[in-house]
Amino acid sequence: MPVMDRLKKISGTAAIVGVAESDEIGRTPDKGPLELHAEAGRNALADAGIDKSEVDGVFTAGYSTYDVAEYMGIKPHFTDSTSVGGSSFVIHIAHALAAIQAGYCEVALITHGQTGRSDRARAGGNPGLPSAQYETPYGIIGPPVSYSMACRRYMHQYGEDKTREAMANIAISTRKWANKNPRAFFYDTPMTFDEYHDSRWISWPFHLPDCCLVTDAGAAIVITSTERARSTKKGAVRILGAAEGHDHSLLHQMPDLTMPFGRNTGPQALEMAGITHSDLDLAMIYDSFTYTVLVTLESLGFCKPGEGADFVADQRTAPGGDFPLNTSGGGLSYTHPGMYGIFTVVEAVRQLRGETGERQIDDCKLAMAHGTGGLLASTGTVILGRD
């Protein structure tokens, strides 16, 4: 088990100093995934005011770090291709904190790039993986099918109508935030409750607006020691807590379809940061599906199991509500290229710096960013604080 005394000692010793998206996000048919990595990496370094030659730690998922580093012309001394789905990039933050603290590197660059929208060719499955024998032959392929099965179980335990109301509330509130973010895919497209309920089924119980977008996009994060961070262009957003883990890979192996691994990473990250839920000004929670948000809020301990519907009721998570959630518009309405986790961190940092214009929340000092990867399988939670 993680050793909390030691984690508390490194809390806040490294900081995020640069965040960026690729030049364009949404639909970029003229750009390949590695180009999006490189663009975002360059932009994040510019945001930090740090030269590429100073990067000595590289982190990525989906591709190997040697592909990304070669493409960008970086020769790192610390390399980490931990790839556990969309949470990977949040998990990389914990690894960067540990590597910087231990002395393996000084400037860590985490990159992401995917062309989920333009590149519709699906990679063939590896026949050696259990999923190829025990799930895909049944049409249990891709996240919507699996997550909708998990959601049906939740409905059985806590009530179908209540669950549906929560899913609608999350879809609508997230869209309202996207309507305030010029870079959001659905910036110009509002959505009403009627439109939500009347939309087509993808995999019952999921309507189309219960499912995230499929876009092209890249993003990157630059991390260095807090000491050095304080002299960078935009200053330090300190990494106060960071936790990671997983408890299955195939959905049917998940111990409880209504309780993902955030049950461990949420409390661990908060304890490491020395804060509680009520101290947070912002939560950025990976929204691959509306259900993901509902079940993640419960697992992280914002409310008790089965109480998520009450927690998000009455548009409490929308602009003007008292629990700002996924203020970029999230994977549901802003962007989701496949592994979205890094974008939760990009938005959290921008909110902490006060850079988010019309959607800026008041006096944002502490934020949580939480990634979920695979089939509700891996989670990474970070607590970030304005210096």
Binding site residues, another protein, CB under 8 A: 122, 125, 127-128, 130, 132-142, 144-145, 148-153, 156, 200-206, 250-253, 257
**164 or 359: CB nearest another protein:** 164
Indicate left, alpha or beta for 202 from its phi (over 0: left) and psi (-120 to 50: alpha). alpha
**103 or 127: CB nearest another protein:** 127
To another protein, the closest distance from the beta carbon of 289 in angstroms equals 12
Distances (CA, A) of 271 to 95, 161, 222, 279: 18, 35, 24, 12
- Active-site residue (options: 196, 286, 291, 340): 286
**135 or 347: CB nearest another protein:** 135
Task: Check if 154 is active-site.
Answer: no
Q: For residue 290, what are its two tokens?
A: 């509306």
CA 356, 358, 359, 360 dihedral sign is positive
Instruction: Name the residue type at position 84.
Output: V
To another protein, the closest distance from the beta carbon of 184 in angstroms equals 23
CA 317, 147, 256, 377 dihedral sign is negative
Separation between Cα atoms, residue 174 and residue 183, nearest integer Å:
14
Q: Which residues of 352-382 are buried (b: 16+ CB within 10 A; e: fewer)?
A: bbeebeebbbeebebbbbbbbbbbbbbbbbb
To another protein, the closest distance from the beta carbon of 311 in angstroms equals 23
- Active-site residue (options: 104, 196, 334, 340): 334
Instruction: Name the residue type at position 56.
Output: D
Separation between Cα atoms, residue 368 and residue 384, nearest integer Å:
6
Which residues are CB-contacts of 197 (< 8 A; sequence separation ≥ 6)?
Answer: 168, 207
To another protein, the closest distance from the beta carbon of 215 in angstroms equals 18
**137 or 182: CB nearest another protein:** 137
Q: Look up tokens 């490194």; give the residue.
A: 10
Whether the CB-CB separation of 299 and 147 falls below 8 Å is answered with no
Q: In what order do the strands lie in the sheet with 366-373?
A: 78-80, 57-60, 107-115, 216-225, 14-21, 237-246, 378-386, 366-373, 282-285
To another protein, the closest distance from the beta carbon of 338 in angstroms equals 14
DSSP lists the bridge partners of residue 237 as 16, 386
To another protein, the closest distance from the beta carbon of 202 in angstroms equals 5
**103 or 139: CB nearest another protein:** 139
Which residues are CB-contacts of 325 (< 8 A; sequence separation ≥ 6)?
Answer: 173, 174, 282, 283, 284, 285, 293, 312, 317
To another protein, the closest distance from the beta carbon of 332 in angstroms equals 17
Task: Check if 334 is active-site.
Answer: yes
**6 or 153: CB nearest another protein:** 153
**213 or 269: CB nearest another protein:** 213
Report the catalytic residues: 286, 334
